[in-house]
Amino acid sequence: MVFNSSSRILITGGTGSFGKAFIAEIFNRIPAVERLVIYSRDELKQWELQQHYPESQFPQLRFFIGDVRDRDRLRRALEGIDTVVHAAALKQVPAAEYNPMEFINTNVLGAENVVQACLDTEVKRVVALSTDKAAAPINLYGATKLCSDKLFIAANNIKGVRDLSFSVVRYGNVMGSRGSVIPFFLEKAKTGLLPITDPSMTRFNITLSEGVAMVLWALENALGGELFVPKIPSYRITDVAEAIGPSCEKPITGIRPGEKIHEEMITSSDSFTTIDLGEYYAILPSDGRVQRLYKDADISSAVVPSGFAYNSGSNPEFLSVEQLRSLIREHVDSAFQPF
């Protein structure tokens, strides 16, 4: 086990949806964790989180205002830290197209700052969050996250003799996260209108709790250099609309710039270095180093068939309308009723 009462953890972007769920799970698993640092640039969100976790009850929780663009501030925040979860990113696809350098500065150069700050301190384990949009990207956001993934994986090549590993987790749309389709539809349904970009569109689906569990699993099991992908269901955008607003009008508005009809998490080009770990896939770097580590560790794994791809449209598991309604009540709005 990586985590115990002596763990000292830092999460970048810790005031976001993932960060909040991650904090709750850490305190659920190890209430006496030695230190948990929230590193983010939004003082209001930090203040709001502090109201939920008062210092009198959670003395080990610390808040650092800082940006991943600031390497010196990262180094200071990482003093005494042994575990890092990198969740900070700019994520909105249209905003990336309009403000490309801002996304590059945060998602690419910020990722490199995290890598270098970890190399300069005593950090032992790093997991960075990725996105399905980083697989064969067609928009700038996806491209910046692909660059980030490559930086974290390649960091294992320059760690020297340090007891340090870098890995990445990649998953699809987080159910109920800010800016995602379900909260958008829940709000639009009040108007009686649910705009559908393309009726054939599909997406992967993962809950926040599943995403947190995957990151914790990666922190405890990664050897360094893997890009982990979960086996999760897909949904059809038309089924989401039916689940939320069966009586709403559903005009077709057309696909937006930078969008795909189906999202990918593993491309056919990745199949040659992808292994099946049961609950997760792992894409290994092509240099063979990590493959040798897995062989030496005698971990049961299997290379996927040549040409294998993991795509939300060809995924064998799809959520039904009723399953979607149940998940919305469980993870987004307990009082939800279809419109």
Residues 234 and 205: beta-carbon distance below 8 Å: yes
Q: How far apart are CA 332 and CA 226, in angstroms?
A: 31
* Strand 125-129 versus strand 165-169 pairing type: parallel
Q: How far apart are CA 141 and CA 19, in angstroms?
A: 20
Residues 91 and 173: beta-carbon distance below 8 Å: no
Q: How far apart are CA 47 and CA 34, in angstroms?
A: 21
* Sequence-ordered list of residues with C-beta below 8 angstroms from that of 77, at least 6 positions apart, any chain: 10, 37, 39, 64, 66
Q: How far apart are CA 17 and CA 70, in angstroms?
A: 23
**E runs forming strands in the chain:** 8-12, 35-40, 61-65, 83-86, 125-129, 165-169, 173-174, 202-206, 227-230, 234-236, 264-266, 274-276, 280-283, 302-303, 310-311
Q: How far apart are CA 163 and CA 160, in angstroms?
A: 9
Which one of 91, 133, 145, 260 is the catalytic residue? 133
The end-to-end CA distance of the chain, in Å, is 46
Residues 296 and 176: beta-carbon distance below 8 Å: no
Question: Is 45 annotated in the active site?
Answer: no
Instruction: Give catalytic residues, as residue numbers.
Output: 133
